[in-house]
Amino acid sequence: DGKATFSADNEAMNTILTEATKLGVTKIESVPPTLEDLFMRHYEG
């Protein structure tokens, strides 16, 4: 179905959008991290 799911930091978004455009991507859905994701990032790092 041509879908991909991944996580990325805000700093990577320009690169992601540039490369996605080159590949012909026509739709991107962005969702904020969950509270659990934020918690785990803070305490795992």
**pLDDT over 90, % of the chain:** 58
* Any domain includes 35: yes
* Residue 5 included in any domain: no
Dist. CA 37–CA 16, nearest whole Å: 20
Kindly state whether residue 31 falls inside one of the protein's structural domains: yes
* pLDDT for res 14: 95
pLDDT over threshold 90, residue 41: no
Q: Phi, psi at residue 13, to the nearest 5°?
A: -65, -40
Query: What's the confidence (pLDDT) of residue 44?
Result: 83
The answer to whether position 16 is within a domain reads yes
pLDDT for 2 equals 82
Residue 18 structural domain: 10-44
Alpha-carbon distance of 19 to 14, in angstroms, equals 9
Q: How many Å apart are CA 8 and CA 3, to the nearest integer? A: 16
Structural domain tally of the chain?
Answer: 1
- Res 25: pLDDT: 93
Distance of alpha carbon 3 from alpha carbon 44, whole angstroms: 29
> What average pLDDT does this structure show over 6-33?
92
Q: Is residue 39 part of a domain?
A: yes
Query: Looking at the domain assignment, is residue 4 inside a domain?
Result: no
